[in-house]
Amino acid sequence: MAKRKDFIRAIEAYDDALRSEPKNMEAYYFRGFAKYEIKDYEGAMEDLTLLVKSGIRIERDKYQYVFNTRGIANYFLGNNEAALRDYSAAISINPNFTDAYGNRGDVRMLLGDASGAIADYDFAIAVEPEDLDLYNNRGVARYQLNDTTGACGDWARAVELGSGEAKVSWDKHCK
């Protein structure tokens, strides 16, 4: 609860900053992230989209987070095609941004592209081999493509890393 209050206070402070300096893109950047943290996905989208459309330059590495976070907001708002574009934009800025690969894989699964999802999960796992969610999600994608052996291998690895969700899939499909 304290964390939420901190983000709300931060949003109020950024509101004040923007009243006195409406073109303060750093304030839009941080307010957008604060809105995301309190699950105000529409508000986050508004601020982050304004930032992208403004053409005002912020540090290049921040844009990967802008697009990834906007992608997550799109995902939660049910705008999966837009989320896919945002994750791809984040990856084009930083081709090693594993969070964006994992997120894009998740959206590809929702859009019925299990093969594309596996490619994204493969890349992310190569960089972050201890991420249990990546193994679990790749297992689901493999299972959808009738690769039970691959799915069971991924779920087994996710279980080794501590995934209860993967244990359910393993117990149901691999025993």
Which among 75, 22, 64 is positioned nearest to 47, based on CA atoms? 22
Each residue of 135-155: pLDDT tens digit? Answer: 999 999 999 999 999 999 999
- How many Cα neighbours within 13 Å face the side chain of 80? 9
What pLDDT is stored for residue 57 in this prediction?
67
Could you tell me what percent of the chain has a pLDDT over 70? Answer: 96
What mean pLDDT, rounded, does the chain reach? 94
Q: How far is residue 131 from each of residues 1, 103, 122, 162, measured CA to CA in Å?
A: 28, 13, 12, 10
